[in-house]
Chains A and B, each alone.
Chain A
């Protein structure tokens, strides 16, 4: 109990420090990824979706978000990870992406949401550039949180379609 409250205090203190950002993390293929929490609009469960003709495979379609048409990307497919059936934990994180002077509302389907961390921006490490995998370009940096490693998402690149 006291540990929890001290952690909370720690978070609160950190929030006031310059350069600290909060990140929402989610799980995809056992790995943890983070997005800036300020870009997150809402988290929804997976729902029936309207397919878009001739769209790339990672664009699953569009949904009706209170009257707005919002496209949903499957982040697994976007990252070149194997496709899995959507289940009860599958969630759609709706984010606001700033691109080319306008902001777009988009959703990304991920395996599950995980946690919220406060992270010092300068703690983020550059991604090793020699990596062979396709998805390294979508990752802005890597951070250690306790024992775990979290990949911080470069939203602009990941959602650029």
Chain B
């Protein structure tokens, strides 16, 4: 009987990635010289389970590599070796290496073993170099006493068979170690009438002549430690007293490791596994297509579906009756209940996709550590609001922009230690990641207490890059906004961290594609804060329903600045057919939705009609609509699934009466209308010319 092991691969990979994450987190917590045994144990256990799993599944390269790692950790655990910073660095590197190996295995790609071999050599060198006298002494005693006779008492608990263990295999394994004499005790075997075939009533005493160390024997019984009483002793009265306690201690650690894995299973950073795969192996694109959901969420869903079924039964019963005053009342009641059930169900289904943002945050301690070492800066990372939940899809897409922002903060924001001391600051810079809910949005702040944005430098750069004119008067905020322009970078030198000028505009574009926004505030010498605002989910949108001719459109509420009635005296016509409204100190171009969308029979005059002022890409435009209808949450449906992309429309939704309504895409609309930002036309031409020249 052979079992197809491949069905367990996915679980193995998931758990291994979890283990690696745990290792990484604990390694980062370690302060060299004062390591705490629990931390070391956690790291050791993770390495041990990966070794065990990969061995079982035949991933030998991983198993061999982890074995060396484990040996080293074991020595640390037993206090034979102290962890130095170099060793921690090496261990972190090996975590990366293992991750790369596992991702490659998961994606069924060829393994790149060069790094693992290199690391293994380093480990083996360390192990060989510092082979402490005590271990050597051990090996000496082992070799001096060439052949030993061990007495092994093996008394399995009754349930041994139920755990899937077969004593016969262990006995034959023992026999392989040397000459084996076996005495079986059958005194406990009950009467045939009481005998249960599933229970083990036998116990054994073995006398083993072997040149192998005691460890080889205990390894055989490793799997049944919890299910049997085992004593291993040297014959001839040399009972090693410390053996028993050690055994039980080991059993304890094994038990606690079991608990540990089951706990980590519940919190399941599957998303992270995907992210990690991306980081460590750029070639692999293992997208996680599954999601782990807490059992409580599933239970509450089942409850709600149950309620829904009851309501449905009630309603269908009512439907069969004759309609009277009484049934009408209960019908209305039932419908209200149905509405309630549906809303609850919707909220709960949405909750399933929600994961705490700690899945994204947890990758930053490592990132910050690595970068700060590279840059020779001292940085403390503070994480706030890790339990804030957001949609899985949003989370997957937000992590790259966040990495970019954090890197920027470390590279450009924070000063070097000397600079910080010179300006009277704590030499340790602080980067804070803060996440919280605000309205229907999640807000993520990335704060540093560095030097802040250098407005002079930015302005100078913008002028040399011809993003602005020398004569332009800009407020500090407007200058800060410039860093989000394409092709902008103030870094004097191009480092591998940042400075290639393909940064912030991509960050902003990525965030905007999630219907979010990013802003920066900065104070010179105090620090800068990047604020990312995102909708909690991509599936639902707060919309303002508007009427254009006889069509209903939806404008995303997040992009609406204000809605107003046009005062005709403030409208002036620019050029051939562009109307502009003077609103306070701004000029807002008026777009006639019916014209852009090619609909007939709308109101043509501007007087007393409604204008919805919307903003996108820092540009305000006014949309002329015939009427403002209600505001409501709408579920976004794809138009592209069965049709194709429509310019100026981001999707569709189904309204309460079953009709389809289209959702207006503001930035698409601006493109469609042919409006440009003031002065931006020549800019585009010039930057293109620059590109060609370079």
Contacts and interface: CB of A to CB of B under 8 A. Distances in A.
A141 interface: no
A10 interface: no
A71 interface: yes
Given A50-B551, A54-B646, A69-B652, A62 B598 contact: no
B643 interface: yes
Contacts of A104: 641-643
B694 interface: no
A55 interface: yes
A107 to B, nearest CB: 9
A62 B652 contact: yes
A53 B662 CA distance: 9
Interface in A110-146: none
Contacts of A105: 642
Interface string A42-72: 0000001011111100010111100111110
Contact of B662 (A52, A59, A63, A106): A52
Interface string B298-338: 00000000000000000000000000000000000000000
B658 interface: yes
A68 B642 contact: yes
B380 to A, nearest CB: 50
A17 interface: no
B685 to A, nearest CB: 27
B660 A62 contact: yes
Nearest to A52: B646
B545 to A, nearest CB: 13
B629 interface: no
A4 interface: no
B637 A69 contact: yes
B661 to A, nearest CB: 7
B660 A64 contact: yes
B647 interface: yes
B599 A51 contact: yes
Contacts of B658: 64
A62 B648 CA distance: 16
Contact of B654 (A51, A61, A67, A71): A67
A161 interface: yes
Contact of A70 (B551, B596, B598, B642): B642
A106 to B, nearest CB: 6
Interface string B634-645: 000111011110
A48 B659 contact: yes
Nearest to A107: B642
B596 A53 contact: yes
Contact of A50 (B596, B638, B644, B659): B659
B641 A68 contact: yes
Contacts of A48: 659
A161 B645 CA distance: 11
Given A52-B646, A54-B646, A62 B639 contact: yes
Contact of A53 (B597, B641, B654): B597
A31 B282 CA distance: 58
Q: How large is the interface on A (under 10, 10 to 19, 20 to 34, 35 or more residues)?
A: 20 to 34
Contacts of B660: 50, 61-64, 69
Interface in B619-657: 637-639, 641-644, 646-649, 652, 654
A119 B142 CA distance: 88
Interface residues of B, number: 23
Interface in B649-693: 649, 652, 654, 658-662
Contacts of A55: 646
A70 B642 CA distance: 6
A68 B637 contact: yes
A62 B552 CA distance: 13
A16 B654 CA distance: 43
Given A50-B551, A63-B660, A69 B641 contact: yes
Contacts of B646: 52-55
Contact of A69 (B596, B597, B643, B647): B643
A60 to B, nearest CB: 12
Contacts of A64: 654, 658-660
B655 to A, nearest CB: 9
Contacts of B641: 68-69, 104
Contacts of B644: 161
A62 B660 CA distance: 7
A70 B640 CA distance: 10
A54 B647 contact: yes
Contact of B639 (A63, A69, A106, A161): A69
A54 to B, nearest CB: 5
B642 A69 contact: yes
A62 B596 CA distance: 19
A50 B643 CA distance: 13
B659 A53 contact: no
B354 to A, nearest CB: 22
Q: Which of A51, A55, A104 has the most CB of B within 10 A?
A: A51
A56 to B, nearest CB: 11
A54 B642 contact: no
A52 B648 CA distance: 10
A5 to B, nearest CB: 39
A51 B644 CA distance: 14
B648 A53 contact: yes
Interface in B543-584: 551
A42 to B, nearest CB: 14
Nearest to B596: A53
A53 B596 CA distance: 8
Nearest to A71: B643
Contacts of A71: 642-643
A59 B639 CA distance: 13
A17 B654 CA distance: 45
Contacts of B654: 64, 67, 69
A108 to B, nearest CB: 13
Contacts of B662: 50, 52-53
Interface in A25-53: 48, 50-53
A54 B595 CA distance: 10
A67 B641 CA distance: 12
Given A62-B660, A63-B660, A67-B654, A54 B598 contact: yes
A62 B649 CA distance: 13
Q: Which of B551, B599, B643, B647 has the most CB of A within 10 A?
A: B643
Contacts of A70: 642
Contacts of A106: 642-643
Interface in B164-187: none
A50 B661 CA distance: 7
A71 B632 CA distance: 24
Contacts of B649: 52-53
A75 B663 CA distance: 27
A106 B642 CA distance: 7
8 contacts: A50-B661, A52-B662, A62-B660, A67-B654, A69-B641, A69-B654, A69-B660, A161-B644
Interface of B: 551, 596-599, 637-639, 641-644, 646-649, 652, 654, 658-662
Given A53-B599, A62-B652, 19 more contacts: A50-B659, A50-B660, A52-B643, A53-B646, A53-B649, A53-B662, A54-B597, A54-B646, A54-B647, A59-B643, A62-B643, A64-B658, A64-B659, A68-B642, A69-B638, A70-B642, A105-B642, A106-B643, A161-B644
The 4 tightest CB contacts between A and B, nearest first, are A53-B597, A50-B660, A71-B643, A104-B642
